[in-house]
Structure 1
């Protein structure tokens, strides 16, 4: 998801920068996109302007702490072209909501559009991993620029990501949405309803998103 959210949000990602690629998993997923012509890993090159930058960093402890600060995101912004999209590892809302809210606030000072997404990652603490998605333009990153067909999914060997999962990743539990002050389209529940019912997780969008399944689950259920 860290790779596919920005890659599908951008309409034509030809040049990609990956920071802290680790075991190469992010690179593998990026190279599934036929639009990609050039990938740079690890270091920011100020001579290049990138369509997509992906930061696959460790948690904000020790040397990696600097990768969660405003000055680092200023460097990333300057390395993107005018329509560029950035994706960063965004911790877990169950464990680091204060840090996430801080990052969302300062990145909104730097980028035209900032959104927070999350997905299930069973090996990550709390079982949920977040993603900070930023765009230098007003591009709606919550909607894929390119919709996938079943043939595309098979060709790219995508087991989790599909176009519906993309949009559902940006539907946040109520306690996260409230903390991040994320604007969401009209819904069945009003804020008065949510307060009256003391709902900390559920809202109308979370209801619908709960039925959007990872590709491998969707495929398995269809075969039954």
Structure 2
């Protein structure tokens, strides 16, 4: 099924964007809402556009209490009005592009300071395709899903000397929580060679930067492409 019936495929699951729009429309601070699916280098993400006075982070948490996680948009934008076609329907092709900066945060940005924090941050940037990751940011709030989490787990296994089970990545979903868990597990194994780890982290950060620059040179695919 394609765009005609409002169905899109996100995180391997079919869903109705109209259903999400309907729930968003029941929020007292939302006058109108539109949801579209967009593809980028890390997969398909849901973008939400709302007309009204509501803080994006609070809206996301409110929505999370009412729909399954895979139906919660990753990126939010506030508009004065939704663009309409001559027939009065939302003109999705004219909705403005959003960036990772439009991903709502419910906390202050906390930068990484240790080598382990910087290394894991670089991995998240690479896997998620985002410019900035703070210690308190949650993986799924930055657009992550089960598929990208598996990719993150694979890269971590090749980088760290400790094994963090995939299931624990769901539980420890921020850099701060993950670092604490890695350190707990490290107490039971020999510490890795610091020089080797630092070199590997530096290579990861450089690669993440190169990929971000490459993505900036590519135009965002259309909604129709995202539905395929």
TM-score after normalising by structure 1 = 0.30
Q: Which has the higher contact order (CA 8 A, sep 6+)?
A: 2
Larger helix percent: 2
Q: Which has the larger radius of gyration?
A: 2
